[in-house]
Structure 1
Amino acid sequence: MSKDDAPDFASFPVRRRGSYLEKFETGQEYDHHWGRTLDIGDSTLFSTTLAYFLPLYLNEEFAQHEGHPSRPINPFLVLCTVVGVSVEDLSESAGPFLGIEECEFPTPVYAGDTIRAHSTVLDTRLSASRPGRGIVTWRTTGYNQRDEVVVTYVRKNLLATLEEL
């Protein structure tokens, strides 16, 4: 291809990827992708990698003694999974993660449960300390395949405004 035949890259449209403040409105809802099935190997690897040696997640007899039918999945793996399935819709390529609040695990997750997530925008606002940035707050709920709530939390991210992208 000669220089004269080269495409004019400056004329190509820019496709915005990721999240920005104006993408979100209070009350907006997201059903995140199809979810993920968790198994006991996921939980064991997660727990031992993080040195989270609570016997409830590693010892079948202990879990049954505590009233569980089998070892439950480590709830922090459930949380990480739900955050992970929500990222594409909410915070992919966005700014800093500002934290999680009001996190609850009302129903245990067991091997073979498939976890999916739903989020609602609670608030959007411009940042008082970071010009050209804003804070988005979501409530995210994780469900198992029986539509039982397995985790719920409030999460915040700092996002650029559209004009700052």
Structure 2
Amino acid sequence: MSVVAIYPGTFDPITLGHLDIIKRSAALFEQLIVAVALNPSKKPLFSLEERVTLAEHATASLANVKVIGFNSLLAQLAEQHHATVLIRGVRSVSDFDYERQLAQANQQLNPQLETIFMTPNEQYAFLSSTIVKEVARHQGNIKTFVTAEIHQAVLNKFLAD
């Protein structure tokens, strides 16, 4: 039986911490879908299309990873793609509390869906897209937080302002 997992997120931008979880998840499952969310409650730096493209480039070397954009309930997306596993990254206790609530809601909406919590590699435990954007906004060095392509894309966004 082929197990399909989904790793959802806003990925604005995708960081080395996200890529760490993607690579480790891709090694565990036959197919991993990186699902880039259109979240109307957030004001992303990058459009959905840009985030999907950046994630595709960042994961291009991983044959069993597919990147898609979505704007629906995660439980419905999982059903559409025959996914039975959700991957969620947790860095802290507060992340876990929030993610546990989402996992319980998703299980109510789609009882076949299991959530697996993954902690990032220690070197990325502090890292978030928000931190990347804040550091870049103040002309700080983000080279150790993102890939070279994403580094340039972030710089270009802030130079355009």
The structure with the larger Rg is 1
- Structure in which a larger fraction of residues adopt helix: 2
Shorter chain as denominator, the TM-score bin is under 0.3
TM-score (norm 1): 0.22
